[in-house]
Amino acid sequence: MSTKKKAEFDYRGHAKKKAPSSKLIRRGAKRRAKPVEIKKQRITIRIDEEILDEFRQLAPGGRGYQRLINHALREWLAARGVKELVRDELRDVLEDVVAKAAG
């Protein structure tokens, strides 16, 4: 085992040599602005307490449960859209089968 101390990293020297481009630094309103594709809207909604408790238990440390609710709603909408597409396709296929059987 070595008794020599490792040289500590020189953060200031590194920052001077590898300074980020001023074009990449966002300040003020630009820094606070969220990209358009993930823009969210604040609303008031009433959700059953037991549902909230379930989502809070799923979230690590109880933090981020709103994100989990948002994700669950997004998955539900996607599944609903797929079900509607399948239902429409099945209806078309059944109509074709019935028409061929009758004709």
On whether residue 75 sits in a domain, the answer given is yes
On whether residue 5 sits in a domain, the answer given is no
Structural domain count, the chain:
1
Q: How far apart are CA 92 and CA 16, in angstroms?
A: 67
Which pLDDT band, with edges at 50, 70 and 90, does 7 fall under?
low
On whether residue 3 sits in a domain, the answer given is no
Each residue's pLDDT tens digit, 17-70: 776 676 666 667 766 666 666 778 899 999 999 999 999 999 888 888 999 999
**What is the per-residue pLDDT for 94?**
87
On whether residue 72 sits in a domain, the answer given is yes
* Cβ pair 66, 73 in contact under 8 A: no
On whether residue 48 sits in a domain, the answer given is yes
**What is the per-residue pLDDT for 5?**
58
State in Å, rounded, how far the first CA of the chain is from the last one: 90
Residues spanned by the domain of 60: 11-102
* Cβ pair 68, 58 in contact under 8 A: yes
Backbone angles phi, psi at 27, to 5 degrees: -125, 160
For the cut 80, the answer to whether the pLDDT of residue 76 exceeds it is yes
Which pLDDT band, with edges at 50, 70 and 90, does 81 fall under?
confident
Q: 22 by DSSP, 3-state: which?
A: coil
